[in-house]
Amino acid sequence: MRGWIIDCYPDNTNDSMVIWLRTRNGTEKIVDNSFRPAFYVWAPKEREEELRSALRMSGFDGVTEERRRIWLGDKERRVLRIVPPSYHDLIPMARSIDRWGLYRDYMLFNVDLRMDLRYFMSHGLFPMGLLEYNGHFHHLDTPWRLDYPLPELKVAELKVDVRAKNRIPTPADPLERVVLGDDVMEGDEASILDRLSISIRSQDPDIIVSDGGDGFYLDYLSCRASLHGIGLELGRDTGMRRSKGKSYFTYGRMVYKAPAHKMRGRVHIDAAGSFMYDEAGLNGIIDLSRLSKMPLQEMSRNSPGTAISSMQVNEALRQGTLVLWKKNLPEDFKTAGDLLLSDRGGFIYEPKVGIHDGVFEVDFASLYPSIMVVHNISPETLKCTCCPDSRKMVPGIGYHICERREGLLPTVLRPIIKRRLALKRLAKEGGRRKGAYSQMAKALKWVLVTCFGYTGYRNARFGRIECHEAINAYGREIMLRTSEMAEERGFRILHGIVDSLWLKGEGDAAAFCADVSRRVGIPLQLEGRYRWIVFLPSVTTGIGALNRYYGLFENGEMKLRGIALRKGDTPIVVREMQEGMLSVMASCGGSMELRERLPDVIAVARHFVEELRAGTVPLQKLVITKRVSRELEEYAPRRSETLEALRALKASGFRVPPGEMLGYVILSGEGKAKPSQLLDGDEAYDAERYVDLVRRAASELLSPFDHDIIRMGDEIP
């Protein structure tokens, strides 16, 4: 039997692994009762017998002795391999042993690995890879193939319409309509649910894509079905694998992750809550699933950072290294002087505020991941004990790097970088799989973007702040060398940030990129030549903002960064206004023409001001979206639009968890904010409040032209 693994999960009740194969003719369920997960414990020699005795007294029988590496590049050490009596016992046993060691004496390994990953590693498998099964698995594919065979997956979109009394659907509201693929189901609720069950069985989709299924709709359908005594099964097997929703803080903001609803034998992707599906589509998720050994449903719900972390774990296990539970490696001691040298971040030039003609933009391709590969930066290679006299030294910091072996991080990243370049080349060549290659390349782009941040993340399994510092140091050195080479060729540097430079001059930019690529060892690419580009000032200081600019490439494309149009909380009316202004600007070939067309640009903003004051803008275009950062009760007792909207929702019986997005419209009168879900449609909005937002967004684009606007006497009213 040949097929592809589309799902794999533990059956904790029966202590078995369940694998679903998608074959040419349908699906097959395989149950493996033989798989037993294990974890490992290292104890100091003087406490080893005490641990063995405690295990015997507690009735833990499955204990054997092995020699394993407990850290990257370490020598093998004696450890105890413990096989729990059941799947349910694994975490409780590990916690007990950790407690016996007073949370400091024993080191535990391979405790919190996913069960599907354990199974895949023990059998050499990966999701969505072709294999043959005849009681044993036989590979017919490799995860790193560029053109790999896939089954013709049946994908159905699930849409649910609720007859909500208060515009916000609740489990108590009746079902109005369900659409599964091309099948539209309407009528009384019980018949809709019956027909949905029949439709799922007849269509038998491999993948169901919902919009908010995790956050509400799958629980809602289950609730409505139970009211009518209907056994609604959306998966190919009974039951749903659920996990709780949670709010967490990451990269300076609060994020909410909805509870997961994973089907059995069928893949459920919630498009509303899947970053990877939104960015890289189904092809990107499939490719990352193969590389990371994370089943499709897991991959669709996790971040690219989780994918790279999984790849690192896979490689460590393949090399025979155990994976530490509750990693707590301290940062190396540094003096104040050392900190000043090492903790300096990336390379930055202050941009020259204003409009510039004929500017080249050059970018290093995957600069930080490439630095990690080219310079062998990894937790075990940095300041290694085997090469104290190494000639490879981190510039400006003095850390030495191992010359004897390649580290874990470069080993993982090298094929990813190579693969992404190959996929981008294939996508550029065109053909019927152009779109698939583009999605796969984009998925890997996000993996490479996150890999650098994880080196400095204290909870990352293989993170180490010294790696983060070394990568930044090499990045600064490379950008300084590149800047010097640019100036030698007659270019003037207008701006530079981390891995990109904006250059003005008449030199050969393509030849310059080729020369830098050869001398640095990392590809420098010509992003394009701008007809004109505008670098914007900081709102607070007036000096050049690092990542706020807009410009027109010679091919007619515009590049926008840091302006209102790019921000998630900007109302549609403000976005449309900036789009209109930029559309006029895009017809200009250079700075002189753009200055001449400023009255036309300003006229666009005036038009939107007039429409707002006339009260003709639809409420949907006025919704301001903010991310809720805390519970309502935790906000300071002061007046704010976000607080007013949260209170209005609470009064209607609804809670918005921290990390969720909140939309509201500012109404006239007292300027109160009303949640978008509670709008009747006939409310009067606060026109002057929105005029102020439009003015600010217009001024944002026009700030470098203030002198010209004043001279023309053509300011926005």
DSSP-assigned letter for residue 498: T
pLDDT of residue 159: 97
What type of residue sits at position 38?
Answer: A
pTM of the model: 0.90
d(CA 70, CA 75): 8
Terminal CA-to-CA distance of the chain, rounded, Å?
73
pLDDT of residue 337: 61
pLDDT of residue 336: 64
d(CA 474, CA 484): 15
Cβ neighbours for 535, distance < 8 A, ≥ 6 positions apart = 351, 352, 353, 354, 356, 494, 495, 544, 545, 548, 549, 704
Q: Is-contact 677 651, C-beta < 8 A?
A: no
Cα dist. 592→351, 583, 589, 703 in Å? 21, 17, 8, 16
d(CA 62, CA 515): 61
d(CA 483, CA 490): 11
Assigned token pair, 444? 């890997």
SS (H, E, C) 252-286: CEEEEECCCEEECCCEEEEHHHCHHHHHHHHHHHH
User: Which of the residues in the chain have pLDDT under 70?
Assistant: 246-256, 327-345, 458-459, 670-671, 707-717
Element (H, E) at 63: strand 63-69
Cβ count within 10 A of residue 437: 23
Q: Is-contact 322 69, C-beta < 8 A?
A: yes
Assigned token pair, 489? 């060729």
Assigned token pair, 399? 């850390």
Q: Which long-range contacts (CB under 8 A, 24 or more apart) does 671-676 make?
A: 672/644, 673/624, 673/641, 673/642, 673/644, 673/645, 673/648, 674/645, 674/648, 675/645, 675/648, 675/649, 676/619, 676/620, 676/623
CA neighbor of 222 nearest in space, from 155, 171, 152, 293: 171
CA neighbor of 329 nearest in space, from 427, 174, 523, 463: 463
d(CA 484, CA 352): 18
Cβ neighbours for 636, distance < 8 A, ≥ 6 positions apart = none
pLDDT of residue 73: 87
Task: Give the rounded distance of the alpha carbon of 119 from its chain centre.
Answer: 26
Burial string for 471-505 (b: 16+ CB within 10 Å, else e) reads bbbbbbbbbeebbebbeebebebbbbbbbbbbbbb
Sorted by where each begins, the domain ranges of the chain are 2-34+121-139, 39-109, 345-562
Please determine, looking at this structure, whether the domain spanning 345-562 carries the CATH number 3.40.1000.10. Answer: no
Burial string for 506-536 (b: 16+ CB within 10 Å, else e) reads eeebeebbebbeeebebbbeebbebbbbbbb
**252-272: pLDDT as tens digits:** 566 667 789 999 999 999 999
SS (H, E, C) 594-622: HHHCHHHHHHHHHHHHHHHHHCCCCHHHH
Q: Phi and psi of 439, rounded to 5°? A: -65, -45
Taking phi over 0 as left and psi of -120 to 50 as alpha, with beta for the rest, 177 belongs to beta
Q: Where are the beta strands (DSSP E) in 454-601?
A: 492-497, 500-504, 524-537, 544-553, 558-561
d(CA 622, CA 573): 6
Collapsing DSSP states into helix, strand and coil, what is residue 557?
coil
Assigned token pair, 98? 């950790």
pLDDT of residue 168: 85
Torsion angle, alpha carbons of 514, 520, 524, 530, to 10: -90
pLDDT of residue 342: 60
pLDDT of residue 637: 73
What type of residue sits at position 64?
Answer: T
Assigned token pair, 392? 């490879």
Torsion angle, alpha carbons of 29, 35, 36, 40, to 10: -110
Cβ neighbours for 70, distance < 8 A, ≥ 6 positions apart = 40, 42, 77, 79, 107, 109, 321, 322, 324
DSSP-assigned letter for residue 127: T
Q: Is-contact 293 127, C-beta < 8 A?
A: yes
Q: Is-contact 328 463, C-beta < 8 A?
A: no
Cβ neighbours for 223, distance < 8 A, ≥ 6 positions apart = 171
pLDDT of residue 234: 94
Q: Is-contact 224 189, C-beta < 8 A?
A: yes
d(CA 537, CA 531): 20
